């Protein structure tokens, strides 16, 4: 995951939204041929890496009320017209339209899952997963979470993460993972809310300059994790309630 485009609760540091993340929580797949731990079978399209963008600083006074009109739905190729401008703004090295199309072509086979966040007819964010089979239990790798710059701090990234979590659990995954910039401490906080913990470092993962922190969350099919997700959802709904500051 990269860290340059999150929107809400912040992945990387430059584009989350909700809790102060940057704007595009992106966790852009594996960076070179060396994929994430135990995800060696997953190869990024066009040699591009996973990323999670955005920055998170969980400071309630800075957050805007979430929009109750936001919905999460499967990404289709028709959405790419709206996705590409958000993508190019969020990342110095953005995915091409062809890369997205290649990912969407694999959705039917069950190895990918992509969604968009829409406020009525406007696409305000998007996110994706790789589903990787493993004899010890399938795993999910967040490929990207990105929120449009003008819709940050509205809970969009949190909604997207909740949807990815539910899908990973529904697919029978036992764990999920991401990479995030070492400097994106706000994004780290967002991920910790979802149960992620640091598990390693990828040296010079971003642009051959900045290290990536590899984060994992295990036992996501257990009741305790369902309770964690419910608490995150309850917090979001509380923020949506009339009269909430």
Answer yes or no: is pLDDT of 57 > 60: no
CATH domain 45-240 topology: Aminopeptidase (3.40.630)
Burial 103-117 (b: 16+ CB within 10 A, else e): bbeeeeeeebbbbbb
The 10s digit of each residue's pLDDT in 96-116 is: 999 999 999 999 999 999 999
Between 23 and 186, name the one with better pLDDT.
186
Task: Give the mean model confidence (pLDDT) for residues 205-224.
Answer: 93
**pLDDT number for residue 244:** 60
Concatenate the DSSP letters of all residues of the chain into one string. Answer: ---S-B-BS-SSSSS--BSS--SB------SSS--STT-TT---GGG------------GGGPPPPPTTEEEEE--GGGHHHHHHHHHHH-SSPPPHHHHHHHHHTTTTTSEEEEEEEETTEEEEEEEEEEE--TT--EEEEEEEEE-GGGTTSSHHHHHHHHHHHHHHHTT-SEEEEEEETT-HHHHHHHHHTT-EEEEEEEEEETTTEEEEEEEEE-TTSHHHHHHHHHHHHHHHHHHSTT--
Q: Are 152 and 36 contacting, i.e. CB atoms less than 8 angstroms apart?
A: no
* Domain regions of the chain by residue span: 45-240
Answer yes or no: is pLDDT of 6 > 50: no
**pLDDT number for residue 181:** 87
Mean pLDDT of the chain: 78
The 10s digit of each residue's pLDDT in 159-193 is: 999 999 999 999 999 999 999 989 988 788 889 99
Question: What does the alpha-carbon distance between residue 173 and residue 57 come to, in Å, rounded to a whole number?
Answer: 29
The tokens describing 23, both together, are: 């704007």
């Amino acid at each position: 995951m990269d860290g340059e485009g999150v929107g809400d609760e912040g992945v990387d540091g430059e584009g989350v939204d909700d809790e102060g993340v940057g704007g595009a929580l992106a966790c852009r797949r594996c960076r070179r041929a060396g994929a994430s731990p135990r995800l060696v079978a997953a190869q990024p399209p066009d040699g591009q890496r996973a990323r999670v963008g955005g920055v998170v600083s969980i400071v309630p006074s800075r957050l805007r009320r979430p929009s109750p009109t936001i919905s999460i739905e499967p990404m289709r190729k028709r959405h790419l017209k709206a996705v590409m401008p958000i993508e190019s703004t969020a990342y110095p090295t953005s995915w091409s339209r062809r890369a997205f199309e290649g990912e969407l072509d694999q959705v039917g086979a069950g190895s990918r899952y992509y969604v968009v966040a829409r406020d009525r007819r406007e696409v305000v964010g998007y996110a994706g997963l790789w589903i990787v089979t493993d004899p010890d239990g399938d795993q999910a790798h967040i490929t990207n979470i990105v929120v449009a710059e003008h819709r940050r701090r509205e809970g969009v990234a949190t909604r997207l993460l909740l949807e990815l979590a539910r899908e990973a659990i529904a697919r029978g995954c036992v764990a999920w993972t991401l990479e995030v910039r070492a400097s994106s401490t706000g994004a780290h906080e967002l991920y910790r809310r979802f149960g992620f913990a640091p598990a390693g470092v990828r040296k010079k993962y971003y642009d051959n300059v900045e290290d990536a922190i590899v984060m994992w969350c295990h036992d996501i099919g257990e009741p305790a994790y369902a309770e964690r997700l419910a608490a995150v959802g309850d917090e979001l709904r509380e923020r949506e309630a009339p009269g909430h500051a």
